[in-house]
Amino acid sequence: MNPARNVNTACQIFIGCLHPSVVESDLYTLTSRFGSVVNIRILRNINTKEPMGLAFVSFNDPMAAQKARVELNGFLFKGRHINVTLYCKNRNTNANIFVKNLPPETTARELEGMFKQFGNVVSSKISYNNTLVSNRYGYVQFENESQAILALNSKDQILASTKIVVSKFEPIQVRHAPQNNSNLYVRGFDDEMTEERLREIFSIYGTISSQFIMKVVTPAGVDRYFGFVTYSNADSAQKAIDALNGKNIEGISWYVAHLIKRSVRRKLLEEEFKRKKEIWKKKNVFIKNLPLNLTNDMLYQLCSEYGPIESLKIHMTENLTYQDGKKISQLVSNGSAFVCFVSEDSARKAILGFRNKMIDGKHIFVTMWKPKEEFVKALYARKIKTIQRQMMDVGVFGPMYNAPQPRSGRGRAIVPQVMPPMMPQMIPRPAPPVEREQPRINFDMNAFNSSPPEVQRRMLGEQLYPVILKNSNDKIAGKITGMLLEIETRVLLSLIQSPYEIANKVREAIEVLRKAWAHNPEFLATLP
């Protein structure tokens, strides 16, 4: 994450923990009261284009950036406590500390005030749950390690009759690494297992500090038993895993693993699923227009010529029929299927092979599989492109031509013209000189000309957005900005020189959107 080009990093703040619905105009409204904002950049996923909850905001003045950092850090913005720091390219991970047992009402600013006596605090953050209740722990990042060590020596500090605990911050992969984890989660036994018997089994591998057995009832009403075993050191826990996990001993099919928090496990599973999706996108093929009577075996034979198959599935839909007054449900094929090959090369061969193939007189449609969220995003982007193309066709972003008036003559109806009432002629007075707004470009033209097209597009968008926002609203300003960016770069540069012309283009775009959304009250409500 690099700061925007040609921006003084001392004038730049970094904002984290943003709500996904936050757009550039929201950040402009939030930060512009501290000084002149020259650049706003919301970071997005390079594949899905989803906001990552992170943004850069650049000011003209370093003092404005410093004031914004102090005032906005921990501020509740659109349902999230945002984290604001000054831009820092290389942070010292050893200068980060973890603080817990904080009073529930402690804020990020108060946390920074507690520790700024030990050195310059780069950032401070309090952790909150989904209901915005403090988890009573947080993080403090110093400029250098010596300041963090000085703060670590303050473990006896008392605050509001609660003794806070200060420790060195450790990344999640270090905290839950097997070599540092002495807690085990075990299952596979039934109600006959006792804590004494559990201790006896696991004490073979090392000294046990504690053990505990729990029972829960599943939604199906089945009793489920599991337990926890804590060793005095991590080596003993690893020995127990190696000896028991996946083994059937004394009639018990043991599952033994390191104990990790539910939130951490969920995060690890989500990351693992994301990795799998990236692999599936390269090996999974979507096929359509297949015969409805095609079976899994027939599909396997059809696709196996391109390479080994890992899995396949014909997409089925529920078909309801009625017989003798009774509803009968049956799953039938809808003519589409997913085929996951073992290798990427096989998937590419299948794409080429199916492209010119016909079955039962129908051309087979085949493409690489996409996750649902990416597929929806692609459809939405295609729809926006269609709207923009239609706007270009009707001349919203080009010269507007008046339609020729019908002429009277043989075989043609005469269209009556409504003439305006005659007004007495008056000698016009010379209009006073009007001071026209002198537009200015907020970027270096040399840097602009040497930048790639995507960077030029971003720089032009940052220049256009404030003017478009001024003439519309925050709900459609981004959409109209994207539409205007479809204009040729040379034309846009001349358009930027005249805010009056930009205002005209915005009004034309709003009217076209009003006609296009005439039957959509929800979209119409976003128009000014």
Q: Does residue 284 contact residue 369 with C-beta atoms inside 8 Å?
A: yes
Range in 38-52, 65-79, 80-94, 378-392 with the lowest mean pLDDT = 378-392
Is the pLDDT assigned to residue 177 strictly greater than 80? no
Check residue 156 and give its pLDDT. Answer: 60
Beta strands in 263-346, from DSSP E residues, in sequence order: 284-288, 309-323, 326-341
Q: What is the b/e burial string over 64-91, where b = at least 16 CB atoms within 10 angstroms of the residue's CB? A: bbbbbbeebbbbebeebbbbbbbbeeee
Q: Give 2-22 pLDDT, tens digit per residue.
A: 444 455 677 889 999 999 888
The enclosing domain of 145 has a CATH number of: 3.30.70.330
The verdict on 20 and 129 lying in the same domain is yes
Q: Give 106-142 pLDDT, tens digit per residue.
A: 899 888 888 888 888 888 999 998 888 888 889 998 8
Check residue 229 and give its pLDDT. Answer: 93
Q: Give 470-526 pLDDT, tens digit per residue.
A: 888 888 888 888 778 877 777 778 777 777 888 888 888 888 788 777 777 777 888
The verdict on 353 and 309 lying in the same domain is yes
Sign, CA torsion 242/247/249/251: positive
| 399 domain residue, yes or no | no
Between 87 and 295, the more confident residue is 295
Mean pLDDT of 204-225: 89
Where is the domain boundary, 339, 369, 399? 369
How do strand 326-341 and strand 183-187 relate by DSSP bridges? Answer: unpaired
Residue 174 pLDDT class (50, 70, 90 cuts): low
The verdict on 245 and 347 lying in the same domain is no
The verdict on 362 and 458 lying in the same domain is no
d(CA 4, CA 379): 30
The total number of residues written for the chain in this structure? 528
Helices (H) and strands (E) in the chain, counts: 17, 24
Nearest to 337 by CA among 307, 311, 304: 311
| 426 domain residue, yes or no | no
Longest dimension (CA), the chain: 111
The enclosing domain of 475 has a CATH number of: 1.10.1900.10
Range in 62-66, 207-211, 451-455 with the lowest mean pLDDT = 451-455
Helices 62-72 and 24-31: crossing angle in degrees, nearest 10, is 100
Check residue 440 and give its pLDDT. Answer: 57
Is 522 exposed, middle or buried (CB count within 10 Å of its CB: 0-12, 13-18, 19+)? Answer: exposed
Which of 217-231, 377-391, 503-517 is predicted most confidently? Answer: 217-231
The verdict on 148 and 36 lying in the same domain is yes
The verdict on 165 and 23 lying in the same domain is yes
The verdict on 158 and 117 lying in the same domain is yes
Check residue 271 and give its pLDDT. Answer: 86
| 270 domain residue, yes or no | no
| 183 domain residue, yes or no | yes
Is the pLDDT assigned to residue 456 strictly greater than 70? yes
State both tokens at 29.
């409204």
Range of the domain at 194: 178-259
Check residue 155 and give its pLDDT. Answer: 62
| 64 domain residue, yes or no | yes
Residue 152 pLDDT class (50, 70, 90 cuts): confident
State both tokens at 463.
């220049």
Which of 167-176, 267-276, 392-401 is predicted most confidently? Answer: 267-276
Is the pLDDT assigned to residue 158 strictly greater than 70? no
**Which residue type occupies 198?**
L
Residue 392 pLDDT class (50, 70, 90 cuts): low
Mean pLDDT of 400-409: 42
3-state secondary structure string, 177-237? Answer: CHHHCCEEEEECCCCCCCHHHHHHHHHHHCCEEEEEEEEEECCCCCEEEEEEEEECCHHHH
d(CA 396, CA 394): 6
The verdict on 146 and 226 lying in the same domain is no
Regarding pTM above 0.85, the answer is no
The verdict on 155 and 249 lying in the same domain is no
| 142 domain residue, yes or no | yes
The verdict on 189 and 150 lying in the same domain is no
Across the chain, mean pLDDT equals 81
DSSP conformational letter for 43: E
Q: Does residue 182 contact residue 258 with C-beta atoms inside 8 Å?
A: no
Query: Domain tally for the chain?
Result: 4
Where is the domain boundary, 145, 170, 195? 170
Where is the domain boundary, 369, 395, 425? 369
Check residue 72 and give its pLDDT. Answer: 92
| 72 domain residue, yes or no | yes
Q: Give 18-72 pLDDT, tens digit per residue.
A: 998 888 888 998 999 998 888 899 998 877 778 889 999 999 888 999 899 889 9
The verdict on 190 and 147 lying in the same domain is no
The verdict on 209 and 338 lying in the same domain is no
| 69 domain residue, yes or no | yes
Q: What DSSP assignment string belongs to 114-150? A: HHGGGS-EEEEEEEE-TTS-EEEEEEEEESSHHHHHH
Q: Where are the alpha helices (DSSP H) in 284-341?
A: 296-303
